[in-house]
Structure 1
Amino acid sequence: MKANRFSTLAKGLVLASLIIYSCKKTDLGTNDSADAFGIVPSINATQEITTSQRLMDCSSDCINPAGPFVERSAMCSSSWGGPNSDFHTKTVTYVAYNTATDLVVKVTYVKSGKNTNASDLVSATVNGVVRSVPTLASGATAEFTFPLPTGWKKCDVLSIGIHQEGQNSPINMNCWYSLFEICAARCATTFEGDAISCGTEREAIYTLTAESDMSYIKMQGGLTNFTGANADIEFLEGGENLTYSQSTPGGSSNRIIKIQGSMSACERVRIRIRWNSTNTGGVITGSWSVKDANGVEIAPSVAGLTCE
């Protein structure tokens, strides 16, 4: 009878000392290992991407310099203690992403059960470079920044090691991150004018770029002290879906030019206008504007042009 009681007690003590690891990842083709008696698991994990509804691919997708970035994350928990109030759990979570210059790794440590105000060592290692916080409080997040290698390119793989030490056996996670290249800079909407000649034979060039598709734009402005036949209007660049017209209001010496139609995103339109005038020097054009279908300016107006 005493022998049976001792055997039952011994089994209870063994069960009470178990350490249970639970690690979450979404990487396919890798395995978790966890030893219930305290051998620290090594997790080769890449994780779920949190910035998109679909899985991002470093070979075909890119990131904007200001974000959002492609985040990958993983979590590992360790539990120990008995079934009563002495049960403990600690959880380490990390999120990693790259910017144009750095790999950013954020590590969060949470201790639950007893001693929830614990502060322990947390570190991140990327390609052999170690960053650490010796006393990261439970519930806090440490952010580590690692400069990207010189000459890095898309899909280069960086190894990531996460280590937590304190409150029973350590937690280690061994993962990796494939870098995403920076998207080519997109254009901005700009509208500019340049006076080329201000004598009796005058010339001006207007340049417009739209950052997005425009189903309709109207560029309009005047030519001062206009004389002679129609102004000579020529598209030097772009403008395949634009047309122009010109008119002179009754009794006015100004010639009104209108350019209307559609433009594609980042299309650059350069328009050269030549005309005759009885004057020389001074302001050779009126104010020019460019508006959308609702009559709203898509770029600041260009004031009257003069030759320097």
Structure 2
Amino acid sequence: MRAVVYDRFTKDFDELAVRDVPEPKLPPASLLIDVRAAGVNPVDWKLMAGYLDAIVPTQFPVIPGWDVAGVVVGTGFDTPEFQIGDEVMAYARKDVLSTGTFAERVAVPVSAVTAKPASLSWEQAGGLPLVGGAALRTIDALGELHARTVLIHGASGGVGSLAVQMAVARGARVIGTASEVNHDFLRSLGAEPTTYGDGLAERVRALAGGQVDAVADFAGDVLTVTLDVLSPDGVHASIADATVRDHGGRYIWVRPDGSETARLAAMADAGELRIDIAGTYGLDEVAEAFRASSSGHTRGKLVIIP
């Protein structure tokens, strides 16, 4: 089968290559999925650069990609939950970085898989699991949000925009940081936008009429502002800064969890989540997709279509 691979840690996206590789083995309690769409996430090119080598074992050559939506074409032993022909989606991260989703087929543990709603396009389903899981786990970590004021750093990004929608749906008043060009987008999601950068704490306090009850960080390098605007009994969580743990916060790392992805799928199917697609790319265009992702200026999901 065809897959995108890289042979060493590198920041040079031009070292990505499309090759014929062996068909995936199908372990027990796993599904073989014919890939229809696979979301691009910043962690994909950060892994390629070796930034997570200290915590993620790697076996080269690596096929990148942790998100997938597709059709079941094979079932391992003892997988009664799914049948060949089922349309599914998953956050497909494995313990060893090696066989990812930027390929024609991928084997995924059944525990990570859920059914794809018919209402979602392949691109939406393939782009939702990781960012949706990060948003959902973060918003869950903030606890009760009804009638509370929440600050979301990086609110217009792939994770942040979903978190805004989740917090608004739970009855929160949301203040979201973004560049000015994305302020109307945040308003369309129900948030009150403000520009990040110098003077942010003052702008947030002015909007909130004081301190905020909770903070979700999807940007990083904002802990000083978070602690400045957070009420003494407030809660905060981050997917971008592990040092929040030293200040009473929660650091979020998404686990492959089919039940969690099923919650996301249900919310999207009910029209509670808006999933914007910024662009689609073929296997031979992954380097271009990584450049777009690493620019930090993409709004919406980038998706690989094998």
Per the normalisation by structure 2, the TM-score is: 0.20
Specify which structure has the higher proportion of strand: 1
Higher RCO (Cα < 8 Å, 6 or more apart)? 2
Q: Between Structure 1 and Structure 2, whose CA radius of gyration is higher?
A: 1
Name the TM-score, length of structure 1 as normaliser: 0.20
